[in-house]
Structure 1
Amino acid sequence: MKRTIKKVAVIGSGIMGSGIACHFANIGVEVLLLDIVPKELTEAESKKGLTLDSKAVRNRIVNEHLSNSLKSKPSPIYSAKFASRITTGNTTDDMAQIANVDWIIEVVVERLDIKKLVFEQIDQYRTAGTLVTSNTSGIPIHFMSEGRSEDFQKHFCGTHFFNPARYLKLFEIIPGPKTSTEVLDFLNNYGEKFLGKTSVVAKDTPAFIGNRIGVFGIQSLFHLVKEINLTIEEVDKLTGPVIGRPKSATFRTVDVVGLDTLVHVANGIYENCPEDEAHELFKLPEFITKMVENKWFGSKTGQGFYKKVDKDILSLDLNTLEYRAAKKASFATLELTKTIDKPIDRFKILIKGQDKAGEFYRKSFAALFAYVSNRVPEISDELYKIDDAMKAGFGWENGPFEIWDSIGVLKGFELIKAEGHTPAPWVNEMLASGNNSFYTVKEGATYFYDISKKSQEKVPGQDAFIILNNIRESKKVWSNSGAIIEDLGDGILNIEFKTKMNTIGSDVLQAINKGIDLAEKEYSGLVIGNQAANFSVGANIGMIFMMAVEQEYDELNFAVKFFQDTMMRVRYSSIPVVVAPHGMTFGGGCEMSLHADKIVAAAETYMGLVEFGVGVIPGGGGSKEMTLRASDLFRKNDVELNTLQEYFLTIAMAKVSTSAYEAFDTGLLQHGKDIIVVNKDRQIAEAKKHALLMAEAGYTQPIRRNDIKVLGKQALGMFLVGTDQMVAGSYISEHDKKIANKLAYVMAGGDLSEPTLVSEQYLLDLEREAFLSLCTERKTLERIQYMLKAGKPLRN
């Protein structure tokens, strides 16, 4: 049957429930969010003369929870206006409304008795065929649907979102005893395609997949930290970005999630998995028990493993359980990996370390490898699902089996044995049969070792994706030190940057020109996209700084013009160019996007022209482009200055969108032209599809613009008065004013006496001249230097 989701009901509006409601609103679904009715009035409600029958009182809990969620950082919602898609109510007065929804999601407290009462109520009102799912993080699914109607049980399962629902991609689907295959298939596809998730169908085992492995890893570290006498700072140093994990690493992550939450899951595993070979590891160490007694749960209680006192961050000494000043952690082993860009390439070196770091990695990875091998087939029949769950739910760049593969399956097997653990028998059988890796890549597709079939089988669901890692070498057309051009098939090329943070320098610009040359001669279209953490943080400011310090202004002028000319080639080539930004898309990365025929942006795209932070204006066509876009919006009898001012402020305030949807509000994305994909994994395939559509529709090379209306002195005067007032009010510095006035001159088209139509090249020349003049300023050089050293802007 065909099933569409137009409206969902979320029962329970706490942090998780409100987050799930917001994410459905993000993708355009209407949401009914319900919670319980308060049992008593607050003091404020009593003073207003309200009663328990007042609607404002009866919906107070749900409204407060949703309001708090919408105010939280990072935001659970792509755009503030999307919150209007959520209607609130309570489970006493409004439960009958669930008869009109397509999917009911229960997100109440983690108690089976309460959940069963809610499901009894839902069963009374739901329409037959409506999906019902529970967002439990560990309660067995088969207990929940006992006693419910046949239709309820057929359409019921667990759907475990990870918190925060917008940002963490894992979507575990846990079937109940009678869940239909149609329901599982639908939810698996819906999670991937519409919610932008990594859908993983899990078995109904305690804590499912993600939390079973993730909590094991944390519990293992809790015991290991005392065994080899490491501080919490040292563990966080060892378990963060160096091994492809989030900056919050281990202990900061526990503080954010809440130690009480972790303890709840760990206790659940300990109680419900008596046969687990690592059963005793889930017993809480004494220092954790003490922290729980003290209610040191982390951020929610103001202290956990870390504690903020005024502006200082203190760390917990695990031996004394007293807070002390944080200590910087450093290890010789980590120094050996500094020149290795990809975490997956570091593991071979890390496990060979001769210091405490090496010992830590050997012990922790040996324990992890043994544990995941023994969970197959208990929690999953397929090993790739465990990797998917850890990457999508815990933000790991590489899953356990991928890490094991990177050091060699045999080497990992020996490491497990050396540290006193026992791997699952199937690993030995796999090695004995001549299979030496858990994964292989063939013809652009990933294959995994299937334990039941004892052979490499294709990972399902890849047809909707293009995975650049799988085609980078086999489909390479051309490369240099900064980028690689790949053949995506069907006449479409892709340019993938490979510089640090995907910065744009001469090598990347050369690759873009080469890609356009190749596409114009032999192909149909071009995509500029990558699958790194961020699309691009902008131009290589280190190169700009060196040229400016050496006063090599002719070379700098040439470099800026080369950037501008390349952006104009992106705009005016004879083939369609689609840019696929995601993550941080700053400065030059943003300018490149602005010049594409179409932008196919990931929903999580943080886009902005941020050049003011390093003391310059956008010099790669960004200032020109925002002037052009303002001009295109001028309408007869409108106040044109107001429109231009909006685009000026986007640059002058270095506005960065908190999602791709917000980039429409700042004029960086354009309605009717640019599109957004929620699932980043689908982005390159989607970009290729649109490049192909434009090519097949008969793409015509655009004509260069010479009809851009600039307002001259009229606009310039307004901007200059504005910057004077900002300095007078101490809102900006004198140097900020200088940069803003340079931008004003460009966007006004100079000091022309009246509004005039000008060409793009006219504006590009003004832009480049302003950029170069700012590079001669000492305060600009200070800003660039500070950004290079500290990674954040200097206000001077």
Structure 2
Amino acid sequence: MIRRIKKVAVIGSGIMGSGIACHFANIGVEVLLLDIVPRELNDKEKAKGLTLENKAVRNRIVNDNLTTALKSKPSPIYHQKFANRISTGNLEDDLKKIKDFDWVIEVVVERLDIKQKVFEQIEKYRSPGTLITSNTSGIPISFMNEGRSEDFRKHFAVTHFFNPPRYLKLFEVVPGPDCKQEVTDFLMMYGEKFLGKTSVLAKDTPAFIGNRIGIFGIQSLFHQVKEMGLTVEEVDKLTGPVIGRPKSATFRTVDVVGLDTLVHVANGIYENCPDDEAHELFKLPAFIQTMMDNKWLGSKTNQGFYKKVKGDNGKSEILSLDLDTMDYSPSKKAKFATLELTKTVDKVIDRFPILITGKDKAGEFYRKNFASMFAYVQNRIPEISDELYRIDDAMKAGFGWENGPFEIWDAVGVEKGIELMKAENLEPAPWVTEMLSKGFKSFYTVKEGATHYYDITAKDQVKKPGQDAFIILDNIRKSKEVWKNSGVVVEDLGDGILNVEFQSKMNTIGGDVLAGLNKAIDLAEKEYQGLVVGNQAANFSVGANIGMIFMMAVEQEYDELNMAIKMFQNTMMRMRYSSIPTISAPHGMTLGGGCELSMHADKVIAAAETYIGLVEFGVGVIPGGGGSKEMTLRASDTFRKNDVELNVLQEYFLTIGMAKVATSAYEAYDYGILQKGKDIVVVNKDRQIAEAKKHALLLAEAGYTQPIHRKDIKVLGKQALGMFLVGTDSMEAGNYISEHDKKIANKLAYVMAGGDLSEPTLVSEQYLLDLEREAFLSLCTERKTLERIQHMLKTGKPLRN
């Protein structure tokens, strides 16, 4: 039987429940969100004369919680209109509706007695065969199964989402002792394919995989920070982006999550894992207990390890906690010589062997930290997982680590890792020693484009399952490389499809990347069927290399700058007008030139988490790589009989003028950046390159024909230009924009109006590209534009001057 999920009921509407409901709505599922009935009226309800029988009162808790979730930032939902897929109700009036639902997810408070009552009620109404899962992070399944029917137990598992459910990819599946294998398999598949998650099969052990390892890591740091005399800022500097962890690193992350949440999980592990060799490490240090007593829990209480205050000058200031005195003082920048050694090393995985050689406090910190982590994870096999890769997957997907602990161990060398452990009086696990004795020098290897891992049962390297749905560029780059330069690598994806992968810093688009794109199109036109532009870095591309533009402009090399812009435009036009289909696969930040590239591909296969937009106004210019032309073209294509065409064009003008960035790929449809009926969104970014390849093949096999250059773009001339100029005048007069903002907007207006033509006219793309390039170039001669570019290069933030 094929199981399909059309309707999901979520019981419990707190932060997690509402977040889970929103994510199911994100993927198009109908959701029923339920919570308890209030026991008394609030002041507003009393003032209105309502009673406890009133429907709005009875659904107040669930509606308030969902409203709060939908207003939160970052948003739990891809598009606000998707919230219409969620209906709300209460457990007394609406629980009976679950008989028609395919999956019921329990997300109530972490108390066994309450969960058991909820399951008892669910049993009265659920239909046999319905999936029933709990989002618990620690209550044993055998306890939750007590008193339940055989059918309930056969379809019961834990599905543990991480908060926030939209953004954190970890989806731990923990089957109950009686759970059918087909149910486990289905949940694992559904998490990957439909929810866009990394599904990790876990055992029913305290805190499962992610939290067991993650909380160990944080508790280990809590003890280490005192032992080594490190400050809060120093630890966050050492455990942030330099080792591929989130910017919030350790202490800032604890502030965001809430110290009480972390302490709850740590206490649970301490109480329920008496045989853990690191048992005493889960005891709370004195400074944590003091913070708990003082209710310094982080963001929720406005102070934790950090505290934001208003200084004497009225400006906000960040203070950090001194863990010795327990007083707050102004944050100080942390600096270490060891970190300077890695400044030129772009790939995080290549930094680890360097970091452990440091002669300063940072080097000592990394040696101790990695030694304790390696020792701990080796001993969790087979306790929490039979396969080592599941631990790495859980840490990457649940805690935002770029590399899992076994991958880091591989990077420093397995034998070197043992040396670090022995220096801390820690011993390698017997299975690690046995692995080395059998001649395996690493936990992972890549063979024939697939990742293999050391399996302790098979005592051999085994292919990691589930890779067939993915194309992992790291695995094929060396063996499938067709051509490369310093900006790109061109790989053969098989079946006649090439991929061009950016390799520049933050995937910026400069001369080498443009040369590489052109070379990739040349190769594809000669010997292949199609081209994908895709990578698996954190971001698709943050746009053109503005450093290069700045240098040319400062040196007043305007002819060279004109040629560089023309090369960019020509490359974008080749994306559209080559003889093979081109597919763009954007994800993460896709800004400026990255957005322009995607808009010129034959098709876009966007990850749902794509933050895409034309942001050039922020650096004092207009989109100059075809973006201004393309928005004008798309406005023209949108004109319909009896439209007020000026209003349509104005929408596209404002998308550029306000530097709008879509907060998801679905929002990009609203801005005209993605096109409905043509461009596609995939929820699981890991599947994106494989999906892009599939669509390149489909276009090629359907008989792709090289498009003809457009000469039928309707521009509105003086009619539009006049409207835009009046608008920018009034915006400046009202102090909404600066004089320079007005100058940039007027340049864009001239391009999108098609110049000061006396009447609406049909023009070519090249005509608009020439106007766009001229406007871009003239803005690069402006001092205030150069100030904006310089400020962006220095701070990463836009300047309004």
TM range (shorter): over 0.9
Q: Secondary structure at the match of 1:217?
A: helix
Q: Give the CA deviation at 1:541.
A: 0.3
Contact 1:160 1:173 in 2 (8 A): yes
Q: Which residue of 1 aligns with 2:128?
A: 128
Aligned to 1:694, which of 694, 699, 702? 699
Q: Which residue of 1 aligns with 2:206?
A: 206
Q: Does 1:721 align with 2:726?
A: yes
Q: Deviations over 1:111-130 (max 9, x none)?
A: 11111111111111100000
Q: Give the CA deviation at 1:139.
A: 1.3
Q: Give the CA deviation at 1:309.
A: 1.1
Aligned to 2:594, which of 578, 589, 614? 589
* Cα distance between partner residues in 2 of 1:694 and 1:545: 39
Q: Which residue of 1 aligns with 2:73?
A: 73
Task: Report the AA paired with residue 422 of structure 1.
Answer: E
Q: Which residue of 2 aligns with 1:556?
A: 561
* Cα distance between partner residues in 2 of 1:619 and 1:184: 51
* Cα distance between partner residues in 1 of 2:715 and 2:77: 36
Q: Give the CA deviation at 1:52.
A: 0.8
Contact 1:40 1:52 in 2 (8 A): yes
- Within a 5 Å distance, the mapping from 1:485-496 to structure 2 comes to 485-496=490-501
Q: Secondary structure at the match of 1:179?
A: coil
Q: Give the CA deviation at 1:446.
A: 0.1
Contact 1:492 1:688 in 2 (8 A): yes
Q: Which residue of 2 aligns with 1:233?
A: 233
Q: Secondary structure at the match of 1:172?
A: strand
* Cα distance between partner residues in 2 of 1:707 and 1:214: 58
Q: Which residue of 1 aligns with 2:741?
A: 736
Contact 1:477 1:486 in 2 (8 A): yes
Task: Report the AA paired with residue 16 of structure 2.
Answer: M
Task: Report the AA paired with residue 573 of structure 1.
Answer: S
Aligned to 1:517, which of 505, 522, 527? 522
Q: Secondary structure at the match of 1:171?
A: strand
Q: Which residue of 1 aligns with 2:424?
A: 419
- Within a 5 Å distance, the mapping from 1:609-620 to structure 2 comes to 609-620=614-625
Aligned to 1:652, which of 650, 657, 671? 657
- Within a 5 Å distance, the mapping from 1:428-439 to structure 2 comes to 428-439=433-444
Task: Report the AA paired with residue 738 of structure 1.
Answer: K
- Within a 5 Å distance, the mapping from 1:439-588 to structure 2 comes to 439-588=444-593
Q: Give the CA deviation at 1:681.
A: 0.1
* Cα distance between partner residues in 2 of 1:141 and 1:795: 56
Q: Which residue of 2 aligns with 1:345?
A: 350
Contact 1:123 1:152 in 2 (8 A): yes
TM-score where L is the length of structure 2: 0.99
Q: Give the CA deviation at 1:238.
A: 0.3
Q: Which residue of 2 aligns with 1:268?
A: 268
Q: Secondary structure at the match of 1:738?
A: helix
Task: Report the AA paired with residue 287 of structure 1.
Answer: F
* Cα distance between partner residues in 1 of 2:479 and 2:581: 24
Q: Which residue of 1 aligns with 2:410?
A: 405
* Cα distance between partner residues in 2 of 1:570 and 1:505: 16
Q: Give the CA deviation at 1:299.
A: 0.8
Aligned CA-pair RMSD? 0.5
Q: Does 1:94 align with 2:94?
A: yes
* Cα distance between partner residues in 2 of 1:25 and 1:327: 43
* Cα distance between partner residues in 1 of 2:717 and 2:686: 45
9-18 vs 296-305, greater mean Cα deviation: 296-305
Q: Give the CA deviation at 1:605.
A: 0.1
* Cα distance between partner residues in 2 of 1:387 and 1:603: 24
Q: Secondary structure at the match of 2:391?
A: helix
Q: Kindly, what percent of the aligned residue pairs are identical?
A: 81
Q: Does 1:192 align with 2:192?
A: yes
* Cα distance between partner residues in 2 of 1:343 and 1:238: 13
* Cα distance between partner residues in 2 of 1:420 and 1:53: 66
After the TM superposition, list the runs of 4 or more consecutive aligned residues in structure 1 that deviate by more than 3 angstroms: none
* Cα distance between partner residues in 2 of 1:420 and 1:68: 50
Q: Deviations over 1:21-69 (max 9, x none)?
A: 0000000000000000111111111001111111111111101110010
* Cα distance between partner residues in 2 of 1:109 and 1:773: 61
Q: Give the CA deviation at 1:508.
A: 0.4
Task: Report the AA paired with residue 617 of structure 1.
Answer: I
* Cα distance between partner residues in 1 of 2:140 and 2:360: 43
* Cα distance between partner residues in 1 of 2:506 and 2:71: 30
- Within a 5 Å distance, the mapping from 1:57-68 to structure 2 comes to 57-68=57-68
Q: Which residue of 2 aligns with 1:753?
A: 758
Aligned to 2:328, which of 298, 316, 323? 323
* Cα distance between partner residues in 2 of 1:10 and 1:321: 42
Runs of at least 5 residues in structure 2 that lack an aligned partner in the other structure: 311-315
Contact 1:371 1:423 in 2 (8 A): no
* Cα distance between partner residues in 2 of 1:632 and 1:116: 58
Q: Give the CA deviation at 1:140.
A: 1.3
* Cα distance between partner residues in 2 of 1:215 and 1:73: 25
* Cα distance between partner residues in 2 of 1:437 and 1:423: 14
Q: Which residue of 1 aligns with 2:313?
A: none
Q: Does 1:607 align with 2:612?
A: yes
Q: Which residue of 1 aligns with 2:172?
A: 172
TM-score where L is the length of structure 1: 1.00
Q: Give the CA deviation at 1:422.
A: 2.4
Contact 1:202 1:209 in 2 (8 A): yes
Q: Which residue of 2 aligns with 1:294?
A: 294
Q: Give the CA deviation at 1:431.
A: 0.8
Q: Give the CA deviation at 1:423.
A: 2.5
Q: Secondary structure at the match of 1:167?
A: coil
* Cα distance between partner residues in 1 of 2:172 and 2:344: 37
Q: Secondary structure at the match of 2:499?
A: strand
Q: Does 1:335 align with 2:340?
A: yes
Aligned to 2:629, which of 611, 624, 630? 624
* Cα distance between partner residues in 2 of 1:26 and 1:427: 43
Task: Report the AA paired with residue 330 of structure 2.
Answer: A
Q: Secondary structure at the match of 1:21?
A: helix
Q: Which residue of 1 aligns with 2:247?
A: 247
* Cα distance between partner residues in 2 of 1:356 and 1:13: 46
Contact 1:306 1:316 in 2 (8 A): yes
Q: Which residue of 2 aligns with 1:771?
A: 776
* Cα distance between partner residues in 1 of 2:325 and 2:25: 47
Task: Report the AA paired with residue 67 of structure 1.
Answer: T
Task: Report the AA paired with residue 356 of structure 2.
Answer: I
Task: Report the AA paired with residue 194 of structure 1.
Answer: F
Q: Secondary structure at the match of 1:599?
A: strand
49-58 vs 238-247, greater mean Cα deviation: 49-58
* Cα distance between partner residues in 2 of 1:703 and 1:643: 25
Q: Give the CA deviation at 1:100.
A: 1.1
Q: Give the CA deviation at 1:192.
A: 0.2
Contact 1:162 1:171 in 2 (8 A): yes
* Cα distance between partner residues in 2 of 1:321 and 1:105: 42
* Cα distance between partner residues in 1 of 2:320 and 2:112: 37
Q: Does 1:795 align with 2:796?
A: no
Q: Deviations over 1:518-548 (max 9, x none)?
A: 0010000000000000000000000000000
* Cα distance between partner residues in 2 of 1:198 and 1:502: 25
- Within a 5 Å distance, the mapping from 1:3-42 to structure 2 comes to 3-42=3-42
- Within a 5 Å distance, the mapping from 1:668-683 to structure 2 comes to 668-683=673-688
Task: Report the AA paired with residue 36 of structure 2.
Answer: I
Q: Secondary structure at the match of 1:375?
A: coil
Aligned to 2:391, which of 353, 368, 386? 386
* Cα distance between partner residues in 2 of 1:319 and 1:112: 39
* Cα distance between partner residues in 1 of 2:642 and 2:146: 68
* Cα distance between partner residues in 2 of 1:420 and 1:316: 32
* Cα distance between partner residues in 1 of 2:505 and 2:138: 40
321-330 vs 455-464, greater mean Cα deviation: 321-330
* Cα distance between partner residues in 2 of 1:397 and 1:612: 32
* Cα distance between partner residues in 2 of 1:721 and 1:48: 48
Q: Which residue of 1 aligns with 2:791?
A: 786
